[in-house]
Chains A and B, each alone.
Chain A
């Protein structure tokens, strides 16, 4: 078994072009020509937290979805705890907690508790273990009485907390989080980051790969930062190394320099 929690080697992903009308019928059989990932390689060590930083459409979610076994790579390979995501998906899923970054993803007419219980059972937790774990996470995420309300009546922030609780339900070794605090208010987001840092990463030894647009969150949580642009990995370093290599004073500046967007921003400001 590999020492790496996550290992990505020369990963490429192409999608077929989007079609509409009757041609959409043929899309499942079309050749994949649209590049989403172009030969990405990096590793995440056990217990390490790595942030994926990139503009919309850079390929962050595609990468996370390949690692979560929801997409198949076109070329290259991705491994979780030594298991290949394309050829050993069930072994991969045993190691994995996944949060999709959307407010959807639950049965709207079931309560939060019923939803968590259901997903706990599908992750092979015993009934008593599910009950115990749901109580722990409900307290951790301040779900309180929301846990016994139908999901359709909950705010998007509460649904997001429920989704994060689901990702942690079976105490996975590797966490994949796509924009974990997107719908959370400032207090809930700060609380979640604190919990993630102290209880999950430091105490639990879990490895984390997360995508975020919040530079504050990235600085706070990530041991290393992977900057992605147009499906390419531009850099994967600690914050200090990133600043040093780009000669930037802040993460924002380093990101803009690496992605070549600084010039665009200056031009936009001048206009």
Chain B
């Protein structure tokens, strides 16, 4: 157990050390977040009305609703990108085969690759929300932080499977993320990112029920805006855990198979 923590820490420290050499990126991203928040604030001011607020699941302002939708989609994006981006960077730097001759297991290699992106994307949500709270009265007074943290972890696990599948595709075909555009595109419409799914036609509401993003966003808004605790958000979390329980083992098997295939064809380091 201690060894696993040390290995995860080694991966995290590696990525943090690399990121520190690009210090200006932190500043640029913080400023970018400020502009993003301001944009959502003014769009919300333009479209907000008592009817709209009444239609939102948690009540409250459209600003809070849409900002959570936007930053959370960014978070999901990070969850899906973490694996193939790390793999691609390791391959291009010629590090991949040196990683694969260490004593680290394949699951640890994948988990390690995702540790830093997970922390950074969670922090990015915090920065967006902090800008919103400080400058535009984003309502944080009711937030249940334990539930928010649980939603972040479970959502990352649920979407990591897609990321690992994408990394498997990258190993085989040298370019990754074939399904990301589809998943994010479908989620943009049916996930409840910028509008509640209740306004969709019936058949799209059925699609939304099979979309994990819907559950992730419902749980996040309930915890952050509604102040709901784990006892209230357990149902969407359970759905997300079910996604993770099915998708993670399948994606791990797919990755192991793809790696074995590249070791057979000798294309591990091919770009």
User: B17 to chain A: which residues have CB within 8 Å?
Assistant: 109-110, 114
B99-121: which have CB < 8 Å to A? 99-105
In Å, the complex CA distance between A94 and B103 comes to 6
In Å, the complex CA distance between A94 and B104 comes to 10
CB B17 to nearest CB in A, in angstroms, measures 6
A72 touching B21 in the complex, CB below 8 Å, given contacts A90-B103, A107-B14, A118-B10: no
- Cross-chain contact A93 with B102 (CB below 8 angstroms): yes
- Cross-chain contact B3 with A118 (CB below 8 angstroms): no
Listed by A's residue number, 14 A-B pairs whose Cβ atoms lie within 8 Å are A16-B265, A28-B173, A28-B261, A32-B264, A68-B101, A70-B101, A71-B263, A72-B263, A98-B101, A100-B94, A100-B98, A106-B93, A110-B14, A166-B98
B268's nearest neighbour on chain A, judged by CB, is A70
In Å, the complex CA distance between A254 and B30 comes to 67
- In the A-B complex, list the 10 residue pairs whose CB atoms are closest, starting with the nearest: A104-B94, A121-B10, A122-B102, A109-B21, A122-B104, A105-B94, A72-B263, A28-B172, A98-B101, A15-B266
Interface readout for B1-40 with A: 1 if CB under 8 Å, 0 if not?
0010011011001100110011000000000000000000
**Count of chain A residues near B, Cβ 8 A:** 42
- Cross-chain contact A114 with B98 (CB below 8 angstroms): no
Which residue numbers of B lie inside 8 Å of A, CB to CB? 3, 6-7, 9-10, 13-14, 17-18, 21-22, 93-95, 97-105, 172-173, 260-268
A104 touching B103 in the complex, CB below 8 Å, given contacts A109-B21, A118-B14: no
A84-130: which have CB < 8 Å to B? 90, 93-94, 96, 98, 100, 102, 104-110, 114, 117-119, 121-124, 127
In Å, the complex CA distance between A15 and B263 comes to 10
- Cβ-based interface call for A69 (8 A): yes
User: B260 to chain A: which residues have CB within 8 Å?
Assistant: 72
In Å, the complex CA distance between A91 and B115 comes to 26
A102 touching B267 in the complex, CB below 8 Å, given contacts A124-B3, A124-B103: no
In Å, the complex CA distance between A117 and B99 comes to 13
In Å, the complex CA distance between A150 and B17 comes to 11
A102 touching B21 in the complex, CB below 8 Å, given contacts A25-B173, A27-B267, A72-B264: no
In Å, the complex CA distance between A15 and B268 comes to 12
A99's nearest neighbour on chain B, judged by CB, is B98
Interface readout for A58-74 with B: 1 if CB under 8 Å, 0 if not?
00001001001111101
In Å, the complex CA distance between A145 and B250 comes to 47
In Å, the complex CA distance between A253 and B266 comes to 33
CB B20 to nearest CB in A, in angstroms, measures 9
- Cross-chain contact A102 with B172 (CB below 8 angstroms): no
Interface core residue of B9, B103, B262 (most chain A CB under 10 Å): B103
- Contacting residue for A122 out of B7, B97, B263, B265, CB 8 A: B7
- Cross-chain contact B173 with A107 (CB below 8 angstroms): no
User: B18 to chain A: which residues have CB within 8 Å?
Assistant: 107, 109-110
A102's nearest neighbour on chain B, judged by CB, is B94
User: A30 to chain B: which residues have CB within 8 Å?
Assistant: 265
Knowing that A72-B264, A100-B97, A121-B6 touch, tell me 15 more A-B residue pairs with CB under 8 angstroms.
Answer: A28-B265, A62-B266, A93-B102, A100-B94, A104-B93, A105-B95, A107-B14, A107-B95, A109-B18, A110-B14, A110-B18, A122-B7, A122-B102, A123-B103, A170-B103
